[in-house]
A = this chain, B = another copy of it.
């Protein structure tokens, strides 16, 4: 049935919405696709719903091609399974919790791992039942601290989440690959360029984890890639660990006065003024032919405070080369599920042995950092601080530092940790050369969950030997509404949206202009013919609206192909527009129809 603009529920807006921070939000509201209902919560108008349905249809087809079956869980779910998995607490303020009239705890599910696991546990019992892949397309909820950027970071959003179930690791690898392949097909059909990057494995401790990122300078995620094909998000980047250096020939630690040097910059300046030039045996990792002290020769000790899930607070120190910073995302992932923040004055007061600005793992009186040291504070080192590297660092005494302090000889950490920032030029861990930094938007995530949920919730099956084994799972997510926003973000110009044909709300936008009945008759029959040939037509049949307004609306709404019946209508001539290229061509109606239905 032809959709007539004279009746259709659509009002385009001349003004940008006041709260729109990003292009997609601005255009989707102005062109009548969505309306804001509450912070991060939107209502969908007919145009928006049609685009969303087309994206969902592509996902459904490719899920079916990957052998996955659709199910649907409630959005309102009982809290118990999420308490068993620990996520009810772990999400903190990030989820919506509520109680029913009897006082039973519920939540609005942010994801449904627990319920998928329990459903399969309910129905399946043997390796013969597996592999299984099931998915849902579902409205999900997260109580974001700062909902922003329209649909890109909302509190209610639509996701496709799929899960695979296998009884052994080989099975999981195959299931993972099938979903990964489906994701490639989905993004190809959506016309969405993507990079597959290694991602952090998260809390669940599975094996493979990859994100599909759309590379764009305005992306909110940073990732690294090498010319040789390595790609990872910064959280997952693994530092190449240098070889240890023999202790032979290394000098002894030397404490020196360093007045007014509480920062790395002031310390380096002081060293260049007062110390001998760096030489093997007294300097940090990057010294071989250094002619001056640099921040890379120093060991920066950063004091952090962790809040563990049980609420306890722990002060820890991380030691990283002074030419790098602690990366917020890497530190968040490295310490998860604990929350991390910089140590506060109160933390320092509780640890009076730490001399601010001059903290180091060693002092004249012995070890100062580490669980076995005088402070008892856990001390974690950057992987570059291998045995035999020599550093300038604080001497734990006011205005004093030490040089030629050798890792593995004079001090040691309680372990290593990947929290230092990644820089262009760092070596890719797979030996494929130096990396560059790039930005992208996350559009999908495939992830080997492993046995965390199956173990916690007791999902086991009999293996071929009749032995009970814990099922291993994969998790595969695509943000449907997020992808819609990204497509809008990528496909627009100064006049409005320009949808890819695969997801456009209509296939053809037919416009009748002028007061001539012939134009309306021609447009009417063109619309009917296009619909009859299976295309979805929006027909602008509004009788008393100027051509300028109609054209502006067509450009704003962004249907990729526009057919205009106007002046030439009496001679059977129409204009065919390509919204993307801007090409306009006058031709006989029959030819226009033939091209549109080709």
Distance, CA A106 to CA B93, complexed state (A): 15
Residues of B within 8 A of A122 (CB): 35
Considering residues A38, A72, A78, A141, which has the most beta carbons from chain B within 10 angstroms of its beta carbon? A72
Residues of B within 8 A of A108 (CB): 76, 98
Residues of B within 8 A of A74 (CB): 37-38, 41-43, 139, 156
From B71, B75, B145, contact of A49 by CB (8 A): B71
Distance, CA A44 to CA B64, complexed state (A): 17
Residues of B within 8 A of A106 (CB): 38, 96
A1 contacts B37, CB within 8 Å? no
Distance, CA A77 to CA B43, complexed state (A): 10
Residue of B at shortest CB range from A118? Answer: B37
Distance, CA A43 to CA B119, complexed state (A): 9
Residues of B within 8 A of A78 (CB): 37-38, 41
A residues neighboring B (CB under 8 Å): 1, 7-9, 11, 32, 35, 37-38, 41-46, 49, 64-65, 67, 69-78, 93, 96-98, 100-101, 104, 106, 108, 115, 119, 122-124, 132, 134, 139, 141, 143, 145, 155-156
How many copies of the chain does the oligomer comprise? Answer: 2
Distance, CA A75 to CA B104, complexed state (A): 20
Distance, CA A100 to CA B93, complexed state (A): 9
From B70, B100, B115, contact of A96 by CB (8 A): B100
Told that A49-B70, A75-B75 touch, could you supply 6 new A-B pairs with CB distance under 8 A?
A: A43-B73, A46-B134, A74-B139, A75-B139, A76-B141, A98-B98
- Can you report 20 A-B residue pairs in the complex whose CB atoms are below 8 A from each other? A8-B69, A9-B71, A9-B132, A9-B134, A11-B124, A35-B122, A37-B115, A38-B76, A38-B77, A38-B78, A38-B104, A43-B72, A43-B119, A44-B73, A45-B71, A49-B72, A74-B156, A76-B155, A97-B98, A98-B98
Residues of B within 8 A of A70 (CB): 46, 49
Residues of B within 8 A of A67 (CB): 7
Q: Shortest CB–CB separation between residue A368 and chain B, in angstroms? A: 40
B64 contacts A76, CB within 8 Å? no
Distance, CA A32 to CA B45, complexed state (A): 35
Distance, CA A143 to CA B106, complexed state (A): 12
From B71, B72, B77, B101, contact of A143 by CB (8 A): B101
Distance, CA A45 to CA B116, complexed state (A): 11
Q: Shortest CB–CB separation between residue A556 and chain B, in angstroms? A: 15
Distance, CA A141 to CA B115, complexed state (A): 19
Considering residues A49, A65, A76, which has the most beta carbons from chain B within 10 angstroms of its beta carbon? A76
Residues of B within 8 A of A38 (CB): 74, 76-78, 104, 106
Residues of B within 8 A of A7 (CB): 67
With contact pairs A11-B124, A119-B43 given, residues A37 and B73 touching in the complex (Cβ less than 8 Å): yes
